[in-house]
């Protein structure tokens, strides 16, 4: 019996094969599997270099066809302006967790953008007010675009306040994201005032100093901090986390590299003050939002649980459709 070789999936392949609804469902299922103990525990390794860094993230899913994924990502925030390259570049390797076969190699930039936005949407299902209508997007790059598209799958959003420290980027975002859509997107002059008007706030910046504090967030708001994925990045001030119901994607990881890391270092919080991991909320072990006036924060550092879920979805659909280039690396 000839087994399939390794399939290569490009960025355009992933865009065609993985829609946001499928990705959101796959990511939610992966967190539920993590809570049930049927996932291979996630791991992470980071390396800093001049102008950016690299990280390796791993995790797996069990079941009848267990899968394991390892992602190597490069993150260079100045790439678009300096080199005309994406901020995030890399590769995801998907393997059979029963026999070790290399099933697929795929572009990580598109996959990361999709699965990160999907994780925010999953968190919003449980932590945002279900009538949330206004969202502030702070950071108008590729991730800001996917965040809005994913959130619209789970919330009745009608108005978007878009802010970026590059005002041209915010104006371009507003024009693109409102074109042909039943939603009003306007560039915001000030990110703090935009945040105070919003029911939902997403920060997706490379900031190394907090962009929001407790005074910038009204009661009842859901905040997703997406940009802090290394110990030197910071978007949400310790006083905001200390005054909020905090849910992490992975507690240990957020304590090392997320906004939670800075709140702990400042003495504003203890590990025991964290309400839950997202897996616990998705599985029903811990409550999500319990009050209309509650401020909820999702500290999203990114986990390979999301990567393996998205990669499996790409691989299975690609295999069924004969998509991707098949190679045999062992020949």
The answer to whether residue 289 sits within a structural domain is yes
Give yes or no: residues 123 and 246 share one domain: yes
pLDDT tens sequence across 108-146: 999 999 999 999 999 999 999 999 999 999 999 999 999
Task: List 93's β-bridge partners, or say none.
Answer: 70, 105
CATH assignment of the domain containing 294 = 3.40.50.720
The answer to whether residue 135 sits within a structural domain is yes
DSSP secondary structure letter of residue 272: G
Give yes or no: residues 187 and 254 share one domain: yes
The answer to whether residue 324 sits within a structural domain is no
Give yes or no: residues 182 and 272 share one domain: yes
Per-residue model confidence (pLDDT) at position 15: 96
Coil, helix or strand for 119? helix
pLDDT tens sequence across 209-267: 999 999 999 999 999 999 988 888 899 999 999 999 999 999 999 999 999 999 999 99
pLDDT tens sequence across 280-309: 999 999 999 999 999 999 999 999 999 999
Give yes or no: residues 65 and 157 share one domain: no
The answer to whether residue 328 sits within a structural domain is no
Residue 317: enclosing H or E segment and its boundaries? helix 304-321
The token duo for 180 is: 């042909």
Give yes or no: residues 69 and 153 share one domain: no
CATH assignment of the domain containing 33 = 3.30.1780.10
Give yes or no: residues 44 and 60 share one domain: yes
First-to-last C-alpha distance (Å) of the chain? 17
The answer to whether residue 1 sits within a structural domain is no
Who's near 3: CB < 8 A, 6+ residues apart?
101
What is the residue range of 125's domain? 118-303
pLDDT tens sequence across 71-111: 999 989 899 889 999 888 999 999 999 999 999 999 999 99
Give yes or no: residues 150 and 297 share one domain: yes
d(CA 331, CA 327): 9
Give yes or no: residues 71 and 209 share one domain: no
Give yes or no: residues 27 and 92 share one domain: yes
**Positions marked active-site:** 71
Provide Rg for the chain, Cα atoms. Answer: 19
The answer to whether residue 331 sits within a structural domain is no
The answer to whether residue 226 sits within a structural domain is yes
Give yes or no: residues 51 and 171 share one domain: no
Coil, helix or strand for 235? coil
Give yes or no: residues 130 and 200 share one domain: yes
The 10 Å CB-count burial string (b at 16+, else e) for 23-43 is bbebbbbbbbbbbeeebbebe
- In this structure, are residues 259 and 198 in contact, taking their beta carbons and an 8 Å threshold? no
d(CA 281, CA 121): 13
Give yes or no: residues 158 and 126 share one domain: yes
Q: Strand (E) positions, 119-213? A: 134-138, 159-163, 184-187, 200-203
Q: Whole-model pTM above 0.85?
A: yes
What's the total number of domains in the chain?
2
The answer to whether residue 54 sits within a structural domain is yes
d(CA 68, CA 101): 10
Residue 83: enclosing H or E segment and its boundaries? helix 79-83
Who's near 278: CB < 8 A, 6+ residues apart?
31, 119, 122, 123, 247, 248, 249, 298
């Amino acid at each position: 019996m000839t087994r399939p070789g390794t399939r290569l999936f490009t960025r355009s392949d992933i865009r065609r094969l993985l829609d946001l609804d499928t990705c959101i469902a796959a990511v939610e299922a992966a967190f539920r599997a993590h809570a049930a103990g049927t996932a291979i525990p996630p791991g992470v390794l980071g390396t800093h270099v001049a102008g950016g860094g690299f990280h390796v993230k791993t995790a797996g899913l069990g079941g009848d066809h267990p899968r394991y994924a390892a992602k190597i990502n490069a993150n260079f925030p100045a790439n678009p302006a300096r080199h005309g390259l994406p901020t995030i570049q890399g590769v995801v390797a998907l393997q059979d967790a029963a026999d070790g076969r290399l099933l697929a190699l795929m572009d990580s930039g598109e996959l990361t953008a999709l699965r990160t936005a999907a994780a925010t949407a999953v968190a919003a299902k449980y932590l945002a007010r279900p009538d949330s209508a206004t969202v502030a997007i702070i950071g108008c790059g590729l991730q800001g675009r996917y965040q809005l598209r994913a959130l619209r799958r789970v919330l009745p959003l009608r108005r978007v306040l878009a802010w970026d420290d590059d005002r041209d980027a915010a104006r371009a975002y507003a024009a693109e994201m409102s074109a042909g859509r039943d939603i009003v997107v306007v560039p915001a002059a000030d990110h703090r005032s935009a945040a105070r008007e919003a029911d939902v706030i997403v920060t997706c910046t490379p900031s190394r100093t907090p962009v929001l504090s407790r005074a910038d967030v009204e009661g009842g708001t859901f905040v997703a901090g997406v940009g802090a994925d290394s110990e030197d990045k910071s978007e949400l001030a310790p006083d905001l986390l200390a005054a909020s119901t905090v849910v992490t994607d992975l507690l240990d990881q957020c304590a090392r590299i997320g906004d939670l890391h800075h709140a702990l270092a400042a003495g504003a919080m203890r590990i025991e003050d964290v309400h839950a991991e997202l897996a616990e909320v998705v599985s029903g072990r811990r409550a999500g939002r319990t009050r209309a006036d509650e401020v909820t924060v999702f500290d999203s550092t990114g986990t390979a649980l999301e990567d393996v879920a998205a990669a499996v979805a790409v691989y299975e659909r690609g295999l069924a459709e004969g998509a991707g280039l098949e190679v045999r690396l062992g020949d």
